[in-house]
Amino acid sequence: MKGISKYTPLLNLPQGIAPFSLGEGNTPLIKSRQIGPELGFPNLYFKLESSNPSGSYKDRFAAFAIADVLANQGKLCLATSSGNTGAALAAYAAAAGIPCKIAIVEGAPEGKLKQMRAYGASLYVIKDFGKNSDVSEKIFEKLGEVAVENNTCLQVSAFKYSPVGMTGVQTISFELAEDLDRVGNVFVPSGGGGLALAIARGFQSWKNQNEAFELPRVHCVQPEGNDTIAGNLRKGLKEAKAVENATTKVSGLQVANVIDGTETLMECKASGGNGFLVSDEETFECQRLLAIKEGIYTEPAGAVALAGCMKAIASGELDKNANAVCIVSGSGFKDPEATDNLIVQNPVSYLSSYREMDQYFAIK
């Protein structure tokens, strides 16, 4: 078996469910060529989830979420999204031949909305959704009612709502365990916390089957403008907290509600991991560094993990000889508006004639 299908026996899934696959998984693990050595940290790695079919790790989620819908004779994929979940579900629902309706977080990048529309999904952008915790709770309640009326489940990339889909995300951990003898540390970008929770649980599942495996430390990295988990984890507290309004501009990580937060906090803590808060400015700078130093084109959310890792290195919280993996969660093509900020200092030169080339090119 190829892709994530080979890991199905390791997953605690309802009997008979296998992923509805579009070829997700087997994503590259790349060792840093410049950033790590420049930081004096030689064993820095990037897990490129951006190479999945729709461009993010959410394809691992969608493969099992859509399989669950089909197994229960569902006729509709009903979901919420700030971008990547919707794109993944829209793609897989299209392949499965079922309609997809998505309630969209306010402020989702136009590039992601266009991708969902290209797959044929129906989108509904709701004011204050994702940014305001009270509004978001009311929307989740209403969508839950709609799901029951349509004999389906609400698909949200969180264990609280879609445990079957999120179980598929654990396959990231299995691939890392196979690729590295000792994973060491994993830095995970977090909004509602589901990705970090899936990775922590995935490593524990691998440990259950491979006794000699050394459990890595799973670190939760969040934008300062959406501190629902990381701050309390660092303080040693036992519960995540909602924020009244998420102020970060990092698309995909604007999740004001707790959702999987408390479970994520406890799993990261149990692994020996910590919480890291990073500014939007630090995130955008890491997005730039990944592009110009590693050739990795990611959306801002995919650079959050590196921002947290760099803080850990600078503060001396990591053994310089240890391994550290940063999860690059989604492609830069997802958020072309964010790319505009990266390239403002690198304009295109338009030449009126080939005769002008000598002054721009080193042509002898």
Q: Which CATH number is 3-56+165-343's, of 2.170.8.10, 3.40.50.1100, 3.20.20.70, 3.10.20.340? A: 3.40.50.1100
Q: For the segment 51-108, what is each residue's pLDDT rounded down to a tens digit?
A: 999 999 999 999 999 999 999 998 899 999 988 999 999 999 999 999 999 999 888 8
Tokens of 263: 């479970």
Tokens of 287: 């997005």
Structural domain spans, the chain: 3-56+165-343, 58-159
Do 216 and 192 touch, CB atoms closer than 8 A? no
Mean pLDDT for the chain overall:
94
Does the CA dihedral 76-57-157-18 come out positive or negative?
positive
Strands 100-105 and 77-81: parallel
Do 341 and 284 touch, CB atoms closer than 8 A? yes
Q: For the segment 219-238, what is each residue's pLDDT rounded down to a tens digit?
A: 999 999 999 999 999 999 99
Q: Which alpha helices (DSSP H) does 185-299 contain, by range?
A: 194-209, 230-235, 261-271, 280-294
Do 222 and 228 touch, CB atoms closer than 8 A? yes
Q: For the segment 87-103, what is each residue's pLDDT rounded down to a tens digit?
A: 999 999 999 999 999 99
**How large is the average pLDDT for residues 7-22?**
91
Q: For the segment 341-355, what is each residue's pLDDT rounded down to a tens digit?
A: 899 989 999 999 988
Q: Which residue has the tokens 């508006």?
A: 337
d(CA 116, CA 335): 13
pTM (predicted TM-score): 0.94
DSSP 31: E
Do 206 and 179 touch, CB atoms closer than 8 A? no
- Residue 125, SS3 per DSSP: strand
Inform me whether the pLDDT recorded for 306 exceeds 90.
yes
- Fold category of 58-159 in CATH: Rossmann fold (3.40.50)
